[in-house]
Amino acid sequence: MSETMSFQIVFVLLCLVAMVAALAADRMRPGMILFSVVVLFLCAGILTPKECLEGFSNKGMITVALLFLVSEGIRKSGVLEQLLYNLLPTKNCSVERGNLRLLPVIAGFSAFLNNTPVVVIFAPMIKNWARRMKLPPTKFLIPLSYATILGGVCTLIGTSTNLVVDGMIQDAGFEGFTIFELGKVGLFIAIVGIAYLVFFSKYLLPDVSSKDDDIEQGADSAESVRVEAVLGARFPGNGKTLHDFDFYRHYGAHVRSLHRNGVRLQGNWTETRLCANDTLILDADATFIPTWGESRVFLMLSVMDAEPEMGKKKRYFAVVLLILMILGATIGELPAVREAVPGLRLDMFFFVCVTTVVMAWTGMFSPRKYTKFISWDVLITIACAFAISRAMTNSGFAGVMATYIIGLTDRFGPHALLAVIFIITNLFTELITNNAAAALSFPIALAVARQLGVDPTPFFVVICMGASASFSTPIGYQTNLIVQGVGGYKFTDFVKVGLPLNLIVFLLSVFLIPMFWSF
């Protein structure tokens, strides 16, 4: 091995270790952390400027961006609220029955929509419904987040991670996934995972959150409403205390309590520095949610114990557009259709572009404000993930790691390698973020397959499953962080109910994937 190659391997290793530490410490947004690492690789000559920028033009990344807008169009239509409102039992409901009716439907929605808006819409509805049914909301909110994750693994567009891996597959010169291909395994995982949540969440999740114990119900004035607000990354008061940041002057609402990591802060909490994903309980007037409901300043706003406001206009048109997008992408991937229109690739990218434009021109979302519905940090993270993956290959780091992993498992065959790739990916997901985990695991998996001379597809699929299986901590998925704030969960609550689910997904993935994709 040349001295230059040795230097590059060590340099990449040090940068990746620093990146994981920075992501775990959560001192900076993931996109900026990954971009900083890409710039270091550029300065070291491991990446060319073209390779640094290739991720920003990747079809998978652009598809994720457009799906944010499609999800916003569906959210604005009000169809999700109406469907869930009609589904919720109105009397004689148990925890098991409630989850049995809710979770499969929620998983079905999240198979085709971005997980975050699904959780943002449903979390306050389910919380208020559970209180009216005299049931602990804590029995339903973590299962809500987990159901969106389980639904996401069933389709190509169910989670950004699948699209990221698909984009890397195509960049490596392989045929990408079709829209329902991952469902061969994902559907089994979703069914078993939902069954586990239905039967065991009653026993593993707390009966009452610390927030429910502490919050005084009702506002100070009959004219005000009690609002629950989850702070977003764009909240201007992040890093400041409520003493320094005059919340009332900015938003016309009084802060009654501050909750972090599922716990209401006591003592002199107005001197605590605010950060993204904190939950504030506010007393506000009736104009607060209409004014700030579409702002990226807050991840979620909901009136506590209020009936959901149903949208009426364009509801059915939104559903038709979504169905046509899914059917079009499914039919467009058929060999007969490809042969009929060889000059046009009728894939998910094509149909999501068309759907986005139609939604914009018909007012399904505001075409003047469309940029605020896109999570730009997620897109930058994805684009930089492609560059980091390329750097791992260019430097030889991926090959060295593959050789080491093969050496550890050479007596057990490809199934053991599949298990190792899942574990590596899943650990990265729980510690950092799902897209970064996929970026770190992909080049190693590809190098393993090439050194063994086997089909890499099973390894690609296991990365999709491992990167999505973020159940044991609230860190890896934003939906987990949202329900942690809304439900008042402790970190250990995720461990108790999530660790067995991680094990279930691991065993099903290692067992089922080789049955559908041979080595």
Measured between alpha carbons, how far is 208 from 241 in angstroms, rounded to an integer? 28
Q: What is the pLDDT of residue 221?
A: 47
Confidence of residue 194 (pLDDT cuts 50, 70, 90): very high
Task: Please report the sign of the dihedral spanned by the C-alpha atoms of residue 494, residue 438, residue 479, residue 351.
Answer: negative
Q: Stretch 462-491: mean pLDDT, rounded?
A: 84
Q: Stretch 111-127: mean pLDDT, rounded?
A: 82
Confidence of residue 159 (pLDDT cuts 50, 70, 90): confident
| pLDDT tens per residue, range 399-434 | 888 888 888 777 777 788 899 999 989 988 887 778
Q: Which residues lie across from 279 on neighbouring strands?
A: 230, 259
Q: Stretch 168-186: mean pLDDT, rounded?
A: 88
Residue 295 pLDDT greater than 80, yes or no: no
Angle between helices 160-171 and 59-77 (to 10 degrees): 160
Q: What is the pLDDT of residue 130?
A: 85
Q: What is the pLDDT of residue 216?
A: 43
Q: What is the pLDDT of residue 345?
A: 78
| pTM for this predicted structure | 0.77
In terms of pLDDT, which residue wins out, 316 or 11? Answer: 11
Measured between alpha carbons, how far is 267 from 259 in angstroms, rounded to an integer? 12
Per cent of the chain over pLDDT 90 is 18
Angle ∠(83,84,90) on CA atoms, nearest 5 = 115
| pLDDT tens per residue, range 304-353 | 655 444 456 677 788 888 888 888 888 887 777 777 777 777 878 888 89
Q: 19, exposed or middle or buried, with CB in 10 Å at 0-12, 13-18, 19+?
A: buried
Q: Which of 196-205, 268-277, 443-452 has the lowest mean pLDDT?
A: 268-277
Q: What is the pLDDT of residue 214?
A: 47
Contacts of 229 (CB under 8 A, 6+ apart): 279, 280, 281, 282, 298, 300, 301
- What 3-state DSSP class applies to 174? coil
Q: Which of 32-36, 241-245, 343-347, 350-354 has the lowest mean pLDDT?
A: 343-347
| pLDDT tens per residue, range 503-517 | 999 999 999 999 998
Q: What is the pLDDT of residue 461?
A: 94
Residue 28 pLDDT greater than 60, yes or no: yes
Q: What is the pLDDT of residue 4?
A: 52
Measured between alpha carbons, how far is 78 from 316 in angstroms, rounded to an integer? 10
Q: Stretch 68-88: mean pLDDT, rounded?
A: 79
**What number of other Cβ atoms are within 10 A of residue 211's Cβ?**
22
For the chain, what is the mean pLDDT?
Answer: 83
Distances (CA, A) of 359 to 3, 74, 201, 325, 365: 55, 9, 38, 12, 7
Please name the helix (run of DSSP H) or strand (run of DSSP E) that holds residue 127, with its range, or none. Answer: helix 115-132
Contact 405, 441 (CB under 8 A): no
| pLDDT tens per residue, range 264-282 | 787 778 888 888 888 888 8
Q: Stretch 462-487: mean pLDDT, rounded?
A: 84
Supply 434's token pair: 């799902």
Measured between alpha carbons, how far is 493 from 474 in angstroms, rounded to an integer? 10
Q: What is the pLDDT of residue 306?
A: 53
Confidence of residue 19 (pLDDT cuts 50, 70, 90): confident
Q: Stretch 191-219: mean pLDDT, rounded?
A: 74
Q: Stretch 159-170: mean pLDDT, rounded?
A: 87
Contact 158, 151 (CB under 8 A): yes
In terms of pLDDT, which residue wins out, 257 or 184? Answer: 184
Supply 62's token pair: 């652009």
Residue 262 pLDDT greater than 70, yes or no: no
Measured between alpha carbons, how far is 229 from 237 in angstroms, rounded to an integer? 13
Contact 300, 232 (CB under 8 A): no
Q: What is the pLDDT of residue 220?
A: 47
Q: Which of 373, 366, 368, 226 is nearest to 288 (CA)?
A: 226
DSSP structure string for 417-434:
HHHHHHHHHHHHHHHS-H
Supply 131's token pair: 């209180």
Supply 479's token pair: 């939906």
Measured between alpha carbons, how far is 374 from 372 in angstroms, rounded to an integer? 5
Q: What is the pLDDT of residue 71?
A: 81
